[in-house]
Amino acid sequence: MRVRLNPQGKDLEVDDVRRVGDLLGRLGILPGTVLVIRGDRLLTEDAALAPSDEIELRSVVSGG
């Protein structure tokens, strides 16, 4: 599957992941630090992924 990291603008190809949680683990990204987006939908950690998916990981920014 194709994964786009924003705001870095990097594109990655990732194989053999079935769920969002698996993808984040493979990339070493902590859940809650990114929004996981497929098309126009936000995905949760337990959402299933397909090899043909195009996923965007958008960093969550908060301020105080």
Which tens digit of pLDDT belongs to each residue from 12-37?
999 999 999 999 999 999 999 999 99
The CATH architecture assigned to 2-59 reads Roll (3.10)
Both structure tokens of 47: 């959402």
pTM of the complete model = 0.90
32: left (phi over 0), alpha (psi -120 to 50) or beta: left
Residue spans per domain, the chain? 2-59
Rounded Cα distance between 29 and 40, Å, is 21
Does the pLDDT of residue 64 top 70, yes or no? no
